[in-house]
Structure 1
């Protein structure tokens, strides 16, 4: 509900585009970045995506609040790749159990930047898209089944409750003596168990809400729409923008000679 009120007060350009056009733009960017693991294409795509923040009405601080788990995961993934990748080129650091070379560092930086470049467009999409508008577009334009659409809408509406659910599950587990003591490995296992419990609870709640909405007539056909989901000239520019970002990233990588196809990376 808080996200919906924020979006209603947000009059940025991208909030007025059809959700499906924004989704198509994100898919184009993701496909381009999934083909290569070099740092040039990822850096170009990341810089262009960050330049779009004002068009979505987002500030860097708000982007961090909404995407910090993905940003942290990308940083950890880049570090793991750096120390675990095979050495190639000059050795920069040798800690006996692991080492960092020119090749492994370049691979790790490319992995981290690529992870950010893939994750941030999705965060940008969800930050400037109203859940009801997305459900209308999926049902009216994409012609998806009502149960899937209602399940998606219910899940997005319930995202705001996940923090509260996490706190509740944690209190219940600590009341049983789980996760409140032990060594770091035991605490990590307890956190993973709590995360799985949160996932199960979210799926159950969304499924129950979707079935309830369908039972009350939300899924009957034919039906009318309070808001018509349409496409405009803005959506054409949004899709072209996604293609431009993807094409610019690939072109910059090819021009720099750093293009490294995923399935040829070991060669």
Structure 2
């Protein structure tokens, strides 16, 4: 069984765009955001990122769990890299006084490290906002075509497409395995403890892993039987940039160029501490 990624936001502005736009925009935005060190400037990029995300009209209920995971992950990454590792470890100049010391690990927390951590949090959050339309607003059948039209070899383009389908396929296999084991009388006790819930998945690891290997082998056999990779592949789906597509790409490309130019010439504001 092969499951497709969830396609959300059908009919939105971004869903009507050429799928290459939704691939190129996050790349350009990462280039711009990676060079911003002042969180006041980063707030501007966050506003742009969520303006772009709003254009996808992705239903909140459908991605609430995804955003919860992103917020937790981003908070941990920003805390570890910003507060614990500190701004100086990233080459930033931090002359602010120590506010307090984290017990047990004996790490001094300064105003600079807090500003650096907040900037990292905003950066990761903005990058996630531009990445969500890529994951949910491209039709599943257009993903491989879009990468191929960007010059990616057909093998890699189709491999990327299969990678996007791996998680929903594995999730569907997991649900089927749970239903099959319930029919056979296995019902784990309900719990709200996330660690215990993970431990309860132990009986599912082997059947789900075996199903994944079998399905992967079936896909490989199907591709070999059709001669995939022996000759240059042609794609039935035709893509063409429209005026709105070009406008969006140019806007984010100029944003990346402006950030790169400011960083090279020294105009990019350094780390700012209130």
Separation in 1, partners of 2:210, 2:239: 31
- The answer to whether the 8 Å contact 1:41/1:249 transfers is no
Q: Which runs of 5+ in 2 are unaligned?
A: 88-93, 180-188
Unmatched 5+ stretches in structure 1: 172-179, 261-267
- Distance in 1, Cα, partners of 2:120 & 2:5: 31
Q: Name the CA shift for 1:224/1:257 in 2 (closer, same or farther; >3 Å).
A: closer
Which residue among 159, 173, 179 is the counterpart of 2:167? 159
Distance across 1 between alignment mates of 2:28 and 2:207:
31
In the aligned structure 2, how far is the partner of 1:35 from the partner of 1:205?
44
Distance in 1, Cα, partners of 2:130 & 2:146: 19
Q: How many residues align?
A: 250
Higher normalized helix content (fraction of residues): 1
TM-score with structure 2 length normalisation? 0.68
> Within 5 A, what are the aligned runs for 1:1-267?
3=5, 6=8, 10-86=10-86, 88=94, 89-97=96-104, 98-142=107-151, 144-145=153-154, 147-165=155-173, 204=213, 207-217=216-226, 219=228, 221=231, 225-246=235-256, 257-258=269-270
Superposed CA deviations along residues 12-44 of structure 1, whole A, max 9, x for unmatched, are 111122222221121111112223444234322
Question: Secondary structure at the residue paired with 1:92?
Answer: strand
Helix, strand or coil for the counterpart of 1:94?
strand
TM-score (norm 1): 0.70
Q: d(CA) in 1 for partners of 2:152 and 2:102?
A: 56
**Deviations, residues 38-79 of structure 1 (Å, cap 9, x unaligned):** 423432222111112331122455444334333221111122
CA-to-aligned-CA distance 1:125-155 (integer Å, 9 cap, x gap): 212111211112233452522x333332233
Moved more, 84-93 or 115-124: 84-93
After TM superposition, give the deviation of residue 114 of structure 1 in Å.
1.4
